Amino acid sequence: MIRSLSFLFTFFVVVTCARANDLAVDLAVDLDKEMRRNFRNPDGSCVQCSLGMCGVDQNVPAASTLLWRSRYGPAERGGSGPSRVARYSRERGIKIYNITGSPTFAWMDWATRNGRGAAIGAGRSHFQTLMGHSGRRYYVC
């Protein structure tokens, strides 16, 4: 199951996935460089890229193929807000928590504590993949 979280970042330390791979960190999502390369964001599809990486990690093909036309539905490209995410998740049968607002840090901690990543909002108009969490440090890609 994918945990989709959306929030406005407050002050804390964020480490990119390239740096996290160099550290001795137990990541909830541990995708190799080759796989992460498949989810680069050339066209404003950061929400789908993040959900797609979570889909690969959790073996949810309906989510991992969001960027491409597949038997689960058409390619989903471009910007997405909560209502669009809810629509295509419902159409593809992807089970998600689509959370917005201030309780997201608790959900982020829960996700990584339970071995799951999360597609998380960064600021007002960007998404990235939460790969892990340790203390006050969050690892994103």
Report field, pTM of the whole predicted structure over 0.85: no
Give the domain range for residue 24. Answer: 2-140
Output the pLDDT for position 111.
87
What's the helix, strand, coil split of the chain in %, to 5? 35, 20, 45
Q: Check pLDDT > 70 for residue 129.
A: yes
- Burial status of residue 44 (CB atoms within 10 A of its CB: 0-12, 13-18, 19 or more): middle
For residue 136, give the 3-state DSSP assignment: coil
Pair of tokens at residue 123: 């600021």
Collapse the DSSP code of 51 into the 3-class scheme (helix H, G, I; strand E, B; otherwise coil) and give the result.
helix
Q: Is the pLDDT of residue 3 over 80?
A: no
Q: Looking at the 3D structure of the chain, how many domains does it have?
A: 1
Query: Could you report how far apart the first and last alpha carbons of the chain are, in Å?
Result: 19
- In the predicted model, what is the mean pLDDT of residues 98-106? 76
Checking if the pLDDT of 116 tops 50, the result is yes
- The mean pLDDT value for 20-39 works out to 77
The answer to whether 118 touches 97, Cβ cutoff 8 Å, is no
Q: What mean pLDDT comes out for the span 38-66?
A: 93
Q: In angstroms, rounded to a whole number, what is the distance separating the alpha carbons of residues 137 and 61?
A: 29
Indicate the pLDDT class of residue 7, thresholds 50, 70 and 90: very low
Give, as one character, the DSSP assignment of residue 119: E
